[in-house]
């Protein structure tokens, strides 16, 4: 919704917004764009007298402002519907869907198109570091191309279709499909149905770029497909072969397309890259140009983002919260740092995790970490309906769980050693733990009489 606000302002509208507990990077992005934000959902905001209320899916019945809008019969629309009708109309839309990797793949794809001179518009659920903003109408010139992160979450309290059916993609990436969003989907079959609705919206002249190794996506396509298809994966038309370090060769139909030289780690990012290269090819960007672009790709904020180094300890921020994403994130860091100790810090605060649906998968996702710290509190209240310490018991004595942020920080500092990698994983602000930890580590160094080196 923050990105949508930026697009609406660029399109010439006066935009204000309201939300609760907004945190960086979105809060700072809105401030930098001159978009005023009201904390909370008070009914008195009706006094602003806007022409239209654009409603995000965080709003539900009982919300004071929404109730006032309904009672007065004021005009409102969902965010995705507004996007489809006012921004994406007449655009060649490249939509990236999937349980994991949507944000990073969308950022890669937008950067490839930018590098190739297409000046695309985009709406991404994070801040790509190559652009410094999560949304724009277009770049250096008016563009017919728009890259959008296509979420399967429901549209609004009054529209229970997935968001992505509103986007009318001509190029659609289906990155992967797993069970998630347990608060709205009863099982993976229900999510597969939504993905098939997306497939039904892609025109015959469009193209699906599909993870050929994912069984759920295979079932989705078996229900019907009316568009061109290209597959990426281990033994698919698009595949990669590892080279030195993090470099890899890209093959299409067994023909070498070039070698990607970059610093990103993890197989998941290599698969994301294949998807982005394939999608860009659909609009005319050659794989050679796409591979050149990826050499200059700088990822997304909160995706393995190094927040600082203090007293020899590196603090890393990552958005991982689903067990599969946690596992791939830890695995990628392990591959990068070798035998260095990894201290994994996890706040399971997504709606799915709060329900405890996937708590059994957490220990396996954290196996490659040397120490694990769990946090089960938000806004002064218990955030979970289940016992985090009990769920992590299979990991033995390398686990410590906390319910107070300051105690968590103190525990990490007491155990962290020079050379350690502290990997903080949460899809929220986590109480500003990153800076608190860096500050505490610097204090530790000063008290020990060591030279303070912070970056």
* Strand residues in 253-322 grouped as ranges (E): 255-260, 305-310, 313-318
Which pLDDT does position 33 carry in this prediction? 85
Which pLDDT does position 380 carry in this prediction? 42
Q: Among 249, 77, 259, 97, which Cα is nearest to 167's?
A: 97
- CA dist 169 and 173 (Å) reads 9
Q: Among 321, 327, 350, 346, which Cα is nearest to 408's?
A: 346
Spatial neighbors of 384 by CB under 8 A, at least 6 apart, are 348, 353, 354, 356, 376
- CA dist 235 and 228 (Å) reads 19
**DSSP output for 10-66:** HTT---EEEESS--TTHHHHHHHTT-EEEES--GGGGGG--S-EEEPTT--TT-HHH
Q: Is the pTM of this model over 0.85?
A: no
Which pLDDT does position 453 carry in this prediction? 59
Mean pLDDT by 10 residues, the chain (455 residues): 92 92 75 87 95 95 97 98 95 96 95 98 92 92 96 94 96 93 85 96 98 96 97 96 93 97 89 97 98 93 88 92 86 89 90 76 92 74 74 92 93 95 90 93 89 60
Measured CA to CA in angstroms, residue 435 lies from 27, 128, 143, 209 at distances of 17, 21, 39, 39
Which pLDDT does position 377 carry in this prediction? 60
Find residue 146's DSSP bridge partners. Answer: 93, 121
Q: Is-contact 57 156, C-beta < 8 A?
A: yes
Q: Is-contact 266 331, C-beta < 8 A?
A: yes
Which pLDDT does position 258 carry in this prediction? 97
Measured CA to CA in angstroms, residue 165 lies from 197, 209, 379 at distances of 7, 17, 34
Which helix (H) or strand (E) covers residue 405, if one does?
Answer: helix 405-415
Radius of gyration for the chain, computed over Cα atoms and rounded to the nearest angstrom: 22
Q: Is-contact 201 221, C-beta < 8 A?
A: no
- Per-domain boundaries in the chain: 2-77, 81-294, 305-447
- CATH 3.40.1190.10 assigned to domain 81-294? The reply is yes
The C-alpha torsion from 120 through 124 and 130 to 133, rounded to 10°, is 100
Quick count: other Cβ atoms within 10 Å of Cβ 288?
Answer: 12
Which pLDDT does position 152 carry in this prediction? 93
- 2-77, what's its fold? Rossmann fold (3.40.50)
Which pLDDT does position 381 carry in this prediction? 43
Which pLDDT does position 27 carry in this prediction? 78
Quick count: other Cβ atoms within 10 Å of Cβ 133?
Answer: 15
What single-letter DSSP state applies at residue 451? Answer: P
Superfamily of domain 305-447: Mur ligase, C-terminal domain (3.90.190.20)
**DSSP output for 1-13:** -HHHHHHHHHTT-
């Amino acid at each position: 919704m923050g990105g949508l606000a930026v697009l609406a302002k660029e399109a010439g509208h006066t935009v204000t917004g309201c939300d609760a507990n907004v945190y960086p990077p979105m809060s700072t992005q809105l401030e930098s764009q001159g978009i005023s934000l009201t904390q909370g959902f008070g009914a008195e905001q009706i006094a602003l007298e806007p022409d239209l209320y654009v409603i995000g899916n965080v709003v539900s019945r009982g919300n004071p402002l929404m109730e006032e809008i309904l009672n007065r019969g004021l005009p409102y629309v969902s965010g995705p519907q507004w996007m489809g009708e006012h921004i994406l109309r007449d655009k060649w839309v490249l939509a990236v869907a999937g349980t994991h990797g949507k944000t990073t793949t969308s950022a890669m794809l937008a950067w490839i198109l930018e590098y190739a001179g297409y000046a695309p518009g985009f709406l991404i659920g994070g801040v790509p570091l190559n652009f410094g903003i999560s949304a724009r109408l277009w770049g250096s010139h008016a563009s017919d191309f728009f890259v959008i992160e296509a979420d399967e979450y429901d549209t609004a309290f009054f529209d229970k279709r997935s968001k992505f059916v509103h986007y009318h993609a001509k190029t659609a990436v289906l990155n992967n499909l797993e069970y998630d969003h347990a608060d709205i989907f009863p099982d993976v079959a229900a999510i597969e149905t939504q993905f098939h609705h997306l497939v039904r919206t892609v025109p015959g002249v469009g193209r699906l770029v599909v993870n050929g190794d994912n069984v759920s996506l295979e079932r989705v396509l078996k229900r019907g497909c009316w568009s061109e298809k290209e597959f990426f994966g281990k033994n698919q038309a698009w595949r990669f072969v590892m080279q030195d370090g993090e470099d890899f060769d890209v093959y299409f139909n067994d023909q070498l397309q070039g070698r990607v030289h970059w610093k990103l780690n993890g197989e998941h990012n290599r698969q994301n890259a294949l998807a982005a290269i394939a999608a860009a090819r659909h609009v005319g960007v050659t794989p050679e140009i796409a591979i050149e672009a990826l050499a200059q790709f700088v990822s997304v904020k909160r995706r393995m983002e190094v927040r600082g180094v203090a007293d020899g300890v590196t603090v890393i921020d990552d958005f991982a919260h689903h067990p599969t994403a946690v596992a791939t994130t830890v695995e990628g860091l392990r591959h990068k740092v070798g035998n260095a100790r990894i201290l994994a810090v996890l706040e399971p605060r997504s709606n799915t995790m709060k329900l405890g649906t996937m708590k059994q998968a957490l220990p396996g996702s954290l196996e490659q970490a040397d120490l694990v710290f769990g946090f089960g509190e938000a806004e002064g209240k218990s955030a979970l309906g289940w016992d985090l310490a009990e769920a992590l018991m299979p990991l033995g004595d390398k686990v410590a769980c906390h319910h107070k942020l300051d105690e968590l920080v103190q525990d990490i500092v007491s155990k962290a050693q020079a050379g350690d990698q502290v990997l903080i994983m949460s899809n929220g602000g986590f109480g500003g733990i990153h800076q608190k930890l860096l500050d505490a580590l610097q204090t530790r160094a000063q008290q020990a009489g060591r030279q303070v080196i912070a970056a």
